[in-house]
Each structure stands twice: as structure tokens, then as C-alpha cells.
Amino acid sequence: MSATAPPHQDEAGQALAADFKDAMAALCSPVTVVTARREDGSPCGVTVSAFASLSLDPPMVTIALDRRSSLLPAVEATGRLGVCLLGADGQQLALTFATPLADRFASVAWHHENGLPRLSEAPVWLECEATTLVEGGDHVLVLATVLAAGTRDARTLAYQNRRFGTHRPLPAPKEERRKPAAAPQSRTARGAHTRRDTTHT
């Protein structure tokens, strides 16, 4: 018996994968560049949209890294990573760190923050310690404890339906204007009025 999966299973799997990608593309995700230092001290970073808050006490976040990511070996080796939440004008930064380049830091402004590479233009910064690595299919979920955080007032970049954008607040819902209810007419008054009408008829 051949070990190759039947063609209809392959097609079904491919169809499910395509449908799943489309479904997940509908999610509005933050755009971050996650950074680390290799054991030789050189910086590395990659664009990540699978990022979320996990816990307040202690402060923790989750980051999903592709198993093929060049960042993962550095995180595994050093146990430290930084998260740069990009600003509304950070589309080019996101593309730079999503493209295979020998040195993604060569053309961007960055500096060291407590030994981790930090993108200078990013309005939000988290210094993290990788607490737990959880295997999940073709990705590894990093559960990270936040050691320090920094922010400045700026709109942040988002990704939805395979396009970059920003969040725009909706107008506040208008309060329904309630008209004052008419005072009910007393039965006596209504009766008297009726009697007067009857009298004059």
C-alpha cells in the first residue's frame, strides 16, 4: 500500500488551509518587530503580527514565531527578546523585517536598550524574558514576561485583509432623544368633554 495520502485528502487539506488563511486575514492584528541578540552579539529581528497580551500579574505577552525564523535560535539561546510595536508610518519597517536580508538593521534607526535592539521610531517598546516555549504546529509560541515597557503617544500600525492600516475610532453613539410623554388625561375630564359634546350635538 502506498504511503502517499489520497489526492482528495491533499485537495481537502489545501482547501482548508486557504479558507483558514482567509478567515485569519479578517482579523485586525498589531504589527510588531520582535528583536533579539545572537550569541555573538549581533542583532536580529523579524516582523510579527501574532502578538498578544497574556497576563497583567505578572505582565506577560505571547509571540508566535515560525519554526524557520532566524530569530528563534537567538531567543532559545539567550532567553531575551524585545517587542517594537510599529507606528502608523512604520509600513516600510514592517516590510524590511519581513524580507530575507543579510542585515535588516543596516538601513534603519536603532539602538541598544538594556542589551536588546530597539527600533528608534517604534512608539511602543517591551523588554521581555522568554519564560516558556510551547510547540504549536509549524510555529513556536513564546510566553514572555515583560521586564520593562515604554510608550509615546502615537497611532500604531495594524494589518487586516493583507493590507496595512491604522485604527480609527468610530463616532460615539448618539443618545436617543426621548420626547417627554404627554400627561394622561383624567377619566373625569374625558367624560366631561364627551358629555359637553353630546349636549351640543
pLDDT of 163 reads 86
The domains of the chain are located at: 30-161
The whole model's pTM is what?
0.76
30-161 architecture in CATH?
Roll (2.30)
Sign of CA dihedral 112, 117, 123, 127: negative
32 within 8 A of 94, measured Cβ to Cβ: no
pLDDT of 83 reads 98
In tens digits, what is the pLDDT along the chain, a chain of 201 residues? 233 333 445 888 888 888 877 786 667 789 999 999 999 999 999 999 999 999 999 999 999 999 999 999 999 999 999 999 999 999 999 999 999 888 999 999 999 999 999 999 999 999 999 999 999 999 999 999 999 999 999 999 998 877 889 888 888 887 654 556 665 554 544 444 444 444 443
pLDDT of 56 reads 97
Q: How many CB atoms lie within 10 A of CB 142?
A: 24
Spatial distance between the Cα atoms of 99 and 110, rounded to a whole number of angstroms: 18
The three-class DSSP label of residue 75 is: helix
pLDDT of 7 reads 44
- Report which residue type is found at 111: H
